[in-house]
Chain A
Amino acid sequence: MTLLSVRDLTVTLMTGSGPADAVRNLSFDIERGQILGIAGESGSGKTMTALSIMGLLPYKGKASGSINFDGEELVGFKPKDFRRVRGKDVAMIFQDPMTSLHPMLTIETQLTEHLRHHRKVSRAEARARALELLDTVKIPDPETALKAHPSQFSGGMRQRIAIAMALACQPKLLIADEPTTALDVTVQAGILKLLDELRKSQNLSVIVITHDLGVLSALTDRLMIMYAGAEVESGPTSQVLTRPRHPYTQGLIDALPDSEAHGKRLIAIEGMPPELGKFPSGCAFHTRCSFARNECKSGTPNKVDIDGTRRIFCTVDPFDTPAGVNR
């Protein structure tokens, strides 16, 4: 069953030189209990997509198109309506657990304040739920942890607490914006495993936003690759990563350091991702694409459906061979 259905989402931000579209005509769906990965370089519009679902777009930011969440249309929602949904049905965890928790408030306050607000439970009930949550995210000695402040925990533990906070009201959708980027590699695996367990035990839908394809390959069911605010490729994670069809996806995968390529020079994508407000016309990637032709420079790239589960936005579609990419 579809929980979230985004159609033609465009996010316009106010920049120093006037309004600019940070997200352009984005469409995607998430089923219940599914994990969707959104990947792309910095500035590709991943976070703005998430913030528009949360109603937390920056000052003077505007979303248009349609975001249907569990039967409700979120585009055009008033701040008051967003406050009703936010924290209760849609929750979000942020990149840096060192700064996303309030340094002066106890863990108990931070775990229970929205629970008490949304669910109108008593202090004792909220406390019991907080203990349960800390146990779920595997914080040792939850009783002591409740009285502690964030500074007494390591980065990985803080991210677990942030996840516990997000889960307090049993949301239907969890958005994790770069949940492991600020953490040690050894801690990353634990957080990813936790997210996967939660998805299974609570039938939680999750959007994981990252630029780390390794994180996504381990965790997500489906994957969407974004470039300059628009989708370039999407499909089941394993297919997208093993047989990418869009030149940009191929470039991202080539740029991954892996054991097979040990000793070889990494292949970086030429050039820099475009800045907000300076996205190239046509297929935005044409300035860096080795397959680019004249027709890529204007109009919109062709949408190519593959096997009914995948699609790419590429007029050239250079890897359209039965064996996929010829390595």
Chain B
Amino acid sequence: MKPVPAKVSVFRKILRGTGFFPFIVKRVLTSILLIFGMTFIAFSITQLVPGDPVAANLGQSAYSDPEIVAAFEKEFGLDQPVPVQYLRYIQKLSQGNLGISLSSKRPVNEDLKEYFPATLEIALVAVVIAMILGLLLGTISAITRDRLPDQIIRVVSLTGVSMPTFWTALVFFYVFFFLLGWSPGTGRLDPGAEPPPQVTGMFTIDALINGDFATFRQAFSYLLLPAIVLAIYALGVLTRFTRASVLEILGNDYVRTARAKGLPEFTVIRRHVLRPALLAIITVAGVAFASLMAGSVLVENVFSWPGLGQYAYRAAVGLDLPGIMGVSMVVATVYITMNLIVDILYRVIDPQLRKAEQ
């Protein structure tokens, strides 16, 4: 008699999941519209910036030769009126072509494929560090409210939020590389070391896929310090936010009910407090992750990490329009994807939202 209702409930779960699909389809469609809207804004801004991409990319002598300037403008379509340039860009974009970078003279697609995974890799490690420690410290801080552990955590997290990232990057580099020698240094691998065959572009994961544990260990040791530096700011934000959410949830009647049941405090916190608190925390974590990616410029420069931040910096300085647009596209996509993931996680954590959609 028992297995039958079990089967029925699995079937019902799948049926319930159908409420998900229209939601996801709608979200993906609006996301595509958003990205197109973003291209318009990014394009307009690059046009408004006073500066001449030709001057920025050609040398002094070449720039004084009108023929070379004309050829350069023709090659990159800069001789066309701005609206035409935009329409051409959109046309190419719809075919998945991001154009040729003015500075590297390579297709932007190729450049991003090389630089983006490097940034994604440190951002992922950073967000995992920040999430785990942020949840832990924030919760401890809330439970020990106004007592010593809380005081310490509050001071430390405030410090984390207040320290400029480039400064932490320099200090950490000085202490852990120069003084202690724990970090192997800058870059992604030892000089001359062969990167693993590219699958994802993230060296640690590619090394694992290839079964090459030595390279994995090496890549991870290079990765850890910049990731920690990147995590510090997000950690401060997440700790403070977790503390506030947990304190708010702790004041709820249903937490008192849980305590009145005589449950162990750990169960009360994990099941009755953290679960609802997570709802608010993942929103912040999603935004924090996206801003980590966008904000990795300074960290990548200190650690000579060949990532999106460095690429964005070079593209911006060189007024490399396709490069800037490409980076904007990636960052916008990351933001939009993170929001989508957060919205989906909401529905996983809070069953009421799922039910409301049916």
Which of chain A's residues have a CB closer than 8 A to the CB of B352? 103-104, 149, 151
A96 in contact (CB, < 8 A): yes
CA distance A86 to B264 in the complex (A): 11
B257 in contact (CB, < 8 A): yes
The total number of A-B Cβ pairs within 8 Å is 81
CA distance A104 to B261 in the complex (A): 17
* From A79, A86, A103, A106, contact of B261 by CB (8 A): A86
B351 touches A100 (CB 8 A): no
B30 in contact (CB, < 8 A): no
B253 in contact (CB, < 8 A): yes
CA distance A99 to B256 in the complex (A): 10
A86 touches B262 (CB 8 A): yes
CA distance A85 to B262 in the complex (A): 7
A104 touches B256 (CB 8 A): no
Q: Which residue of B has the minimal Cβ distance to A162?
A: B257
Which of chain A's residues have a CB closer than 8 A to the CB of B64? none
CA distance A103 to B260 in the complex (A): 17
A114 touches B261 (CB 8 A): yes
- Shortest B281–chain A CB gap in Å is 14
CA distance A59 to B252 in the complex (A): 14
CA distance A83 to B260 in the complex (A): 8
A101 in contact (CB, < 8 A): yes
* Given A83-B262, A86-B262, residue A101 in contact with residue B257 (CB < 8 A): yes
* From B254, B259, B350, contact of A86 by CB (8 A): B259
B350 touches A104 (CB 8 A): yes
B256 touches A117 (CB 8 A): no
A104 touches B275 (CB 8 A): yes
CA distance A83 to B267 in the complex (A): 12
Which of chain A's residues have a CB closer than 8 A to the CB of B272? 102, 105
- Shortest A96–chain B CB gap in Å is 6
B256 touches A94 (CB 8 A): yes
B276 in contact (CB, < 8 A): yes
A123 in contact (CB, < 8 A): no
Which of chain B's residues have a CB closer than 8 A to the CB of A84? 262
Which of chain A's residues have a CB closer than 8 A to the CB of B261? 86-87, 91, 113-114, 117, 165
**Contact indicator per residue, chain B 83-105, by CB within 8 Å of chain A (1) or not (0):** 00000000000000000000000
Q: Which residue of A has the minimal Cβ distance to B275?
A: A104
Which of chain B's residues have a CB closer than 8 A to the CB of A243? none
CA distance A147 to B355 in the complex (A): 12
A100 touches B259 (CB 8 A): no
CA distance A319 to B275 in the complex (A): 57
- Shortest B97–chain A CB gap in Å is 46
A32 in contact (CB, < 8 A): no
Besides A99-B253, A102-B258, A162-B257, 13 more A-B contacts (Cβ < 8 Å) are A86-B260, A86-B261, A87-B261, A94-B256, A99-B252, A99-B254, A100-B254, A101-B254, A104-B275, A113-B261, A117-B264, A149-B351, A152-B355
The list of the 6 closest CB pairs from A to B, nearest first, reads A87-B262, A86-B262, A114-B261, A87-B261, A99-B253, A102-B254
A–B pairs, 23, beta carbons within 8 Å: A83-B262, A83-B263, A86-B260, A87-B263, A94-B260, A100-B253, A100-B256, A101-B257, A102-B276, A103-B352, A104-B275, A104-B276, A104-B349, A105-B271, A105-B275, A113-B271, A114-B261, A114-B263, A117-B263, A147-B9, A152-B355, A162-B257, A165-B261
